[in-house]
Chains A and B, each alone.
Chain A
């Protein structure tokens, strides 16, 4: 009878596996860019050659003007940049119950020499005002913040508090 030779156990050396995995891990850690693109979203109006002008009643408009030194004028009143949110909020709120064609329009106008940063700061303030009104409205109606609502009620809030911002073309310097 032939005796079978006992073979040594066949194993793959796995001790270095962790090292290899570590190397790969470090590569991906370094190569990863986790920057979620964030910013202020806007929709531009369509480009039309001959623009019709539509008269808008004065109380529907909130005209913000920013000049080249960064001073802000809201409906003819000079205010500081950081007051925009507080000033706009009651005006947006007072128009929640009104139909869609009577809601507030915020018009943002700059000078050609205005710094982009000032424009973004003002736009940020306006958006902030709208978001706060939406949150408060959602809270009073559903008892939740706007972001926690489901889609249908979110749309309902959006319907009640639509963000209407008009970007006027900057004036040429005389």
Chain B
């Protein structure tokens, strides 16, 4: 007895004509959401974890200060000394009056060091700060 294979009589091809359109949509989405990395971070740091976290909505207002495991401080593209923070941040604040300073500090840093930075920020009148932290799950 001969078995006959059942086969649907419809076409078996997936229509690919609209594929470029779909890809372009995805592409546009990523192009719009992309912010290219502006600065290279020289210091090594791992952020602390926290639960009660708020998001900063306005990215443009953020200015970063990194503090690494070896207690080096980086602002913008360069490593800076503690005494230089005040003048750098003061010029930043003049350009952007309601700047938010995001502190990306390594979790094993001494508090004394953090406070020294905060004192410099207070002198520079950058009063809005944000302790950067990862979400604790």
Report A's interface with B, CB cutoff 8 A: 14, 17-18, 21-22, 24-25, 28-29, 31-34, 36-47, 110-117, 119-121, 123-125, 127-128, 130-131, 167, 169-170
Contact = CB atoms under 8 A, between A and B. Distances in A.
A157 to B, nearest CB: 15
Contact of B130 (A32, A42, A131): A42
8 contacts: A21-B20, A32-B35, A41-B100, A47-B119, A110-B111, A112-B111, A115-B107, A116-B111
Contacts of B105: 116
Interface in B46-82: 48, 50-56, 59, 62
B114 interface: yes
Main secondary structure of the interface of B (DSSP, over half): mixed
Interface of B: 16, 19-20, 23-24, 26-27, 30-31, 33-37, 48, 50-56, 59, 62, 100, 102-103, 105-112, 114-115, 118-119, 121-123, 125-133, 135-136
B11 to A, nearest CB: 18
A173 to B, nearest CB: 8
B118 A112 contact: no
Nearest to B127: A44
A95 B102 CA distance: 31
A117 B100 CA distance: 21
A30 B134 CA distance: 22
A82 to B, nearest CB: 11
A37 B20 contact: no
Nearest to A40: B131
B29 to A, nearest CB: 9
Given A21-B24, A29-B30, A37-B132, A120 B107 contact: yes
Given A40-B131, A47-B122, A116-B110, 7 more contacts: A25-B23, A28-B34, A33-B35, A36-B55, A37-B55, A41-B131, A42-B130
B130 A40 contact: yes
Contacts of A119: 111, 114
Contacts of A41: 54, 56, 100, 128-131
B91 to A, nearest CB: 17
Contacts of A114: 110-111
A37 B33 contact: no
